[in-house]
Chains A and B, each alone.
Chain A
Amino acid sequence: MADGGAVTEAGATHGVSLEVDAVSHEFGAYRALDDVSLRVEPGEVMALLGPSGCGKTTLLRVIAGFLAQSRGAVSVGGVRVDRLPPGRRNIGIVFQNYALFPHLTAAQNVGYGLAARGAARAEIARRTRQFLEVVRMEAYAERLPRELSGGQQQRIALARALCVSPGVLLLDEPFAALDKNLRLDMQIEIKRLQRRFGLTAILVTHDQEEAMSVADRVAVMRGGRIEQLGPPADVYDRPETLFVNNFIGSTNLLPGAVAADGSVRLAAGATVAPPRPAPAGARVVVSVRPEDVTLHDAPAPDRFPARCRLSLPLGAVTVLDLEAEGGAAVKVVRLRSAEGPTLDGPLWCGVREGARVSMFAEDS
C-alpha cells in the first residue's frame, strides 16, 4: 500500500522528501506559478503562506497530480512523479472543504482508499477501525458526513488521507472553515498526527499565525513566486522584502532618508541606526514591530514624539494606537504589567535595543 513510506507495526509511516523543481504553470496567458522550487525534508512541515490568489492551491494541485505543470518537475522520495496519476504519487490530500463522499458513512470514507486499491475486506475493516481511533472518531463510524460537525468532518478527511499511508500529506487551508477555538484544537491534532506518523506535510494557509505555529519552515508566496523561504522566526525577524514584512505579522512602517553619516533620519523626527549600510540620500522605509517600540516621557535624538489616541487591553498585553507628528499611526504592543510613562501626556517613541529592525528602499 505504501509505495514509499515504510509501514511500521503501529501502522505509522515515515515521511519521504518532496521536491518541487522550477515548476511553472499557466492558465491560458495567466501565469499562476512562476518558477517555483522548494524541498521539504522527510518529516518536515512546510507552510505555504500568501494572500488569496497567489497560487497556493495551484501549486498543491500540481504536486498532487490534478494539474499538469507547464514546466518543471515534482519528485517524491527522490523519484519523479509528475507523469504518474494522483493515486500513485504516494501523496495524500485534505481539501479545504474536506470533500468527504456525501453518500458514504464516515467509516466507508476512511476505508475508501484501501477498497479502491482492492484490499481484502478484513484488512479494510481493521485499518478503518484503527484510523477512526487515531482521529478519535470511533463513535461516529456509521454517521454520514452531513451528520458530523465541521471539526469531525475534518478528522474523517484526515483519517481518509492517512489510511493509505501516504509519504507526503498536503493540507489546503485546513482550518479556514473552523471557528477559532476549534481551529486551535485541530492545529494541535494535526501536529500530533504529523509527529506520530513522521509525516512530511505541506500546509497551505493565508493566516501567518497558523503558519508560524504549525510549520518548521514557511514559504511566502506572491503572484505565483516564492518570495522568501525559511524558518518562521527568520522570516519574521529578517523579511527580505517589504511584501513579506507586511504579510508576516503586523508592523510599523516609518519613512525616512539616509543621512550623510549613514544614520537614518525618520520623517517622524528621530535618528536611528540602519540595520545595514545604505547609500546617503536614499529614501527608505524602516519597519519596526509593535512589540519593539519603547515609550518614554522625555525626548532624545533617537526618539520621536507621539500622542496616544487609543489603548486596547488585550489580555496579557495592551495595544496602543499612537499618532506621530504629521499624523502617521504607530502601533505599540506592551505587556500590561510593564512600567512606563502615563499615556495622557506627550510621549516619545524609541526602538527597543536589540530589536530586529528591517529597512527597505522606499519604492520596493
Chain B
Amino acid sequence: MRRIHAPADALYAAVVGLLGLIALAILVGPVLVVLAVSFTSEPSLRFPPQGFSLRWYAALIDPAQSGHIHEAALNSVTVALRAAGVATLVSGAAALWLRTRSGPAGRAVDLAFMSPLVLPMLSFGLAALILLTTIRVRPTLFWLSAGHLVVVAPYVLRTTAASLSQLGQPLLDSSASLGASRLYTFRRITLPIIAPGLAAGAFLAFMASMDNVPVSLFLSSARTDMLPIRLWGMIESSLDVRVAAASGVLVVSTTLLLLAMNRLVNLSRRISR
C-alpha cells in the first residue's frame, strides 16, 4: 500500500533507520575488524591491517604449528555437540512437561532450569570444580559436557516453550477425539509444531557452549583444552595473529551453520505437510 508520508513520518523513519545502522555497526563492526586483521601480512594484531596474505590461515591449518589449537577445537565441538544434544532432549521434555503445569511445582522446575542464565557462571564453574574434587573425579570431557549442559539448557527450554504456545489444548483434544493415541499425537502434532523451536534451541545451545569461557575455565585441564581458553592463552602470551584467523573461521562457519539451519527448518516445515 502506498501512503503519502507526512514530514513527521519521514523524520521517524530517518531516526529509526539511523539507530538501526548504529546498532548494526556496533554489533557487526568488531567482527569485520577481526576478519580484516586476520588477512594481515604482518605478525601483529593491528588495525588497519598491513598488506594482505593468507599466511595466518595457513599457519592455523598446519598441524605441526597448530596441533594444540586443532585438539582444543575438536574438544570444544565434541563438548558442544554433547551438551546441545542432551539439552535438546532434556529441555524439550521439560518444556512439554511444564506446558500444563502452572502450579508451584511447575514454577520451581522452570526456575531451576532458567537459573543458570542469571546466576554468575563463574560461581557455577567454581562450584562444579569443588564438587568434582570432593567426589574425587578428574575433570574429563564428560564432566565438561555436563557442566556445559547446565548452562546451555535454558536456551532450549525458552525456544521450545515459545513454539509450544502454538500448541493449544484444543489441538491435542481434537487429535484424541479423532482416535489418535498419545504417541501418534506426539509424532504427528506435537513434534512437528515444536520442531522449529527445538532446532533453534539446539543451535543456540551449541553456540553458547562453543564460546563458553567461565565454566571451561574451571573444568578444563591441559588434557582437555577448550578452544576459547586456548585462544585466550595465545593472545595473552604472544598476541598471535592465528587467533584472528581462528576467529575468522568461527565467524564464517557460524554464518554457514545459521544459513543451513534456516534452510533445514523451512525444509522440515515443507516435508511435514
Binding site for B on A (CB under 8 A): 61, 64-66, 85-88, 91-93, 95, 97, 99, 101-105, 108, 112-113, 115-117, 144, 160-161, 164
Contacts and interface: CB of A to CB of B under 8 A. Distances in A.
A160 B178 contact: yes
Contacts of B180: 87, 112-113, 116
B142 interface: no
Interface residues on B, range: 20 to 34
Nearest to B173: A66
B29 to A, nearest CB: 39
Contact of B176 (A85, A105, A160): A85
Contacts of B47: none
A103 B179 contact: no
Q: Is the interface of B mostly helix, strand, loop or mixed?
A: helix
Nearest to B179: A87
Interface string B172-201: 011111111100110011001100000000
A112 B176 contact: no
Given A95-B173, A115-B188, 18 more contacts: A64-B173, A64-B177, A66-B176, A86-B176, A87-B176, A87-B177, A88-B179, A91-B177, A93-B177, A95-B170, A99-B174, A101-B171, A103-B272, A103-B273, A112-B175, A112-B188, A116-B178, A161-B178
Contacts of B174: 93, 95, 99, 101, 160
A101 B176 CA distance: 13
B179 A164 contact: yes
B273 A102 contact: no
Contacts of A95: 170, 173-174
A134 to B, nearest CB: 17
Interface string B248-261: 00000000000000
B51 interface: no
B175 to A, nearest CB: 7
A99 B273 contact: no
B166 interface: yes
B104 interface: no
Contacts of B273: 103-105, 108, 144
B179 A97 contact: no
B168 interface: yes
Interface in B14-44: none
Nearest to A95: B170
B118 to A, nearest CB: 33
Contacts of A112: 175, 178, 180, 188
A164 B168 CA distance: 22
B107 interface: no
B269 interface: yes
Top 5 A-B pairs ranked by shortest CB distance? A113-B178, A116-B180, A99-B170, A87-B179, A86-B177
A66 B171 CA distance: 12
A210 B181 CA distance: 35
Nearest to B189: A101
A65 to B, nearest CB: 7
B170 to A, nearest CB: 4
A144 B171 CA distance: 15
Nearest to A113: B178
Nearest to B268: A103
19 contacts: A61-B173, A65-B177, A87-B178, A92-B177, A95-B174, A99-B168, A99-B170, A101-B171, A101-B189, A102-B166, A103-B272, A104-B188, A108-B273, A112-B178, A112-B180, A116-B175, A116-B185, A160-B178, A164-B179
Contacts of A105: 273
Nearest to A166: B177
